[in-house]
Amino acid sequence: MIGKHFSEEMIIGYLYHTLTDARREEMDVHLLACPHCRNVLAAHEAQQKQIDLALKQTIMNAPASAPVSFAAIAPQLRSGVRLSARWERLVNGFTVATAVSGLILALLSLFPLVQLFWAWDLHLAATDPLPTIASVCFGLATVGQFERRPGISFSHLLASVLTLLLWLGTAVIGLQNILVLRDLFMWVVMVQGSTPQAALRMSPLAVLPAAILWVIVVIGGAEYHRRRIGQRESWRLLALTIVIQLLLLLLPRFLF
C-alpha cells in the first residue's frame, strides 16, 4: 500500500486520458500495488465501455429515412455560392479598408505630436480627434472577426494582412497613449502646485516607463500574433489592446 488512494476524479481522468504524463505514471505505479484503486478503475472501465457501446449502437441504429435528394438542394447551392462569395468580398473589403483608414489616420495624428513633444500644451493630445477615430476604426475591423460563422475563417493571407495592419495601428496609437500618460502625469504634478516648466522637466518619470512598456508590448504582441494568426486568441488580444487604448485616449476628455 503506497500513500493515499486516488480520488474518483483522478481515476476518471486516467480513464479518459486527460492526466499529465507525470500523473499518469504516478498512478500506474500506485495501481500495481493497490487492489482498491484497481477495483474502482475496473468498475469505471466497465461503465465507460457500456456508455461507449450504447452511444455507438444507438447512433448507428438511428432511424434514418433516405436523405433528401441532392437535386432538391442543388438550386439553393448555386445561388448560395454566388451570394456568399459576393458577401464575403464585401465584408473582407470593408474590414481591410477600415483597418487601412485607421492606420493612415493614426499616422497623420503623429505629426503634431512631434512638435508637441518638446513644447507644453496639455490639451492637444486630449482634443485631437484623429487617434480616437483611428482607434474606433481598428475596433470595427476587429469586432467582425468574432462574429464569423462556424468553420469560416479569413484566408491565411487576409488574416495576416489584417493582423499586420492592426498591430502597426495599435503600435502607433500606443505612442499617442504615451503622450496622454505624460499629460496626465503633468496635470497631476501641476495640480500639486508646480509650474508647467517644472512639470515638463519631471515628465520623463512618466514617459520612460511608458516607453519601455510600449516596446515590450509591441515586440511581445508581434510574437504572440505571429504564432496565432487568424485565431480567436489573436483577435481577442487585439480587441483588448484597442479597448484599453481607446479608454486611455478618452480619459483626458473627462479629466481636463
By CB under 8 A, name the binding residues for other proteins. Answer: 8-9, 12-13, 15-16, 18, 44, 47-48, 50-65, 67-68, 70, 73-74, 76-78, 80-81, 84-85, 88, 149-153, 155-156, 232
In the complex, least distance from residue 9 CB atom to other proteins, rounded to whole angstroms: 7
CB nearer to other proteins: pick between 80 and 204: 80
- Put residue 17 in one of left, alpha, beta given phi > 0 → left and psi -120 to 50 → alpha: left
Q: What whole-number distance in Å separates Cα of residue 10 and Cα of residue 27?
A: 9
CB nearer to other proteins: pick between 70 and 254: 70
CB nearer to other proteins: pick between 226 and 232: 232
Q: Which of 10, 11, 27, 34 binds Zn ion (CB under 5 A)?
A: 34
CB nearer to other proteins: pick between 49 and 253: 49
Which does residue 67 bind out of other proteins, Zn ion, none, counting CB within 5 to 8 angstroms by kind?
other proteins
* CA nearest to 176, candidates 121, 236, 107: 107
CB nearer to other proteins: pick between 54 and 208: 54
Q: Report residue 106: phi and psi, to 5°.
A: -65, -45
Candidate segments 36-44, 125-133, 156-164, 226-234, binder of Zn ion by CB under 5 A: 36-44
Helix, strand, coil distribution of the chain in percent, nearest 5 = 80, 0, 20
Exposure letters 130-139 (e unless 16+ CB within 10 A, then b): bbbebbbbbb
Which cell is 204 given? Answer: 520623463
In the complex, least distance from residue 30 CB atom to Zn ion, rounded to whole angstroms: 6
Contact (Cβ atoms closer than 8 angstroms) between residue 139 and residue 242: yes
Q: What whole-number distance in Å separates Cα of residue 56 and Cα of residue 50?
A: 10
Q: Is 37 in the site for Zn ion (CB under 5 A)?
A: yes
Q: Is 10 in the site for Zn ion (CB under 5 A)?
A: no
In the complex, least distance from residue 2 CB atom to other proteins, rounded to whole angstroms: 24
CB nearer to other proteins: pick between 64 and 191: 64
Which does residue 37 bind out of Zn ion, other proteins, none, counting CB within 5 to 8 angstroms by kind?
Zn ion
Which does residue 75 bind out of Zn ion, other proteins, none, counting CB within 5 to 8 angstroms by kind?
none
CB nearer to other proteins: pick between 92 and 101: 92
Q: What whole-number distance in Å separates Cα of residue 18 and Cα of residue 14?
A: 6
Q: What whole-number distance in Å separates Cα of residue 254 and Cα of residue 135?
A: 18
In the complex, least distance from residue 233 CB atom to other proteins, rounded to whole angstroms: 9
Q: Report residue 121: phi and psi, to 5°.
A: -150, 100
Contact (Cβ atoms closer than 8 angstroms) between residue 164 and residue 236: no
* CA nearest to 208, candidates 188, 190, 181, 189: 181
List residues near Zn ion by CB under 5 A.
5, 34, 36-37
